[in-house]
């Protein structure tokens, strides 16, 4: 909608396990929800190039496979690196996640995640709440600190 109303922006998607290419294809083909083909310029970059491109970014928006009790997130491997780089360069990190992804887990470190180190390595990483500015959810816009309150309401 922003692009259709004349707001100019572009998207840089990281390659993370092919997901970046899917985002680019959806935006370029107009198959992403409420998009028009070719309106939003998308560039797919390798995960390792995040530091190079981060200086040109205004905000970082990531999804989440899970939102944990302390407001941190579990997501595809590489999210922690993106968020750490963004924090170092003073770029805000926003998370888009539905409330059904909220989980009563409390990891503090990568080692607290389930050991899923198959031959390809871990599939997810943990991004701590101090790297996240806000979470956009179906419950509203939340700070990481507000996640535990929402979990209490959800599980009462």
| pTM for the model | 0.81
DSSP string, 105-132: ----SGGGS----BTTB-SEEEE-GGG-
Assign 54 a pLDDT band (cuts: 50, 70, 90): very high
The string of pLDDT tens digits covering residues 82-100 is 999 999 999 999 999 999 9
For the stretch 7-39, pLDDT in tens is 777 778 787 654 545 554 555 555 444 445 556
């Amino acid at each position: 909608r922003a692009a259709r109303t004349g707001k100019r922006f572009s998207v840089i998607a990281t390659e993370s396990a092919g997901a970046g290419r899917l985002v680019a294809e959806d935006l370029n083909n107009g198959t992403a929800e409420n998009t028009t083909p070719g309106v939003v310029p998308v560039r797919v970059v390798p995960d390792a190039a995040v530091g190079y491109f981060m200086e040109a970014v205004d905000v970082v928006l990531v999804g989440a496979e899970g939102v944990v009790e302390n407001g941190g997130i579990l997501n595809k491997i590489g999210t922690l690196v993106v968020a750490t780089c963004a924090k170092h360069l003073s770029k805000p990190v926003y998370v888009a996640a539905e409330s059904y992804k909220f989980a009563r887990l409390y990891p503090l470190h990568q080692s607290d995640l389930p050991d899923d180190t198959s031959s390809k390595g871990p599939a997810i990483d943990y991004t701590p709440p101090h790297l996240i500015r806000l979470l956009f959810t179906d419950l509203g816009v939340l700070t990481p600190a507000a996640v535990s309150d929402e979990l209490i309401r959800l599980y009462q």
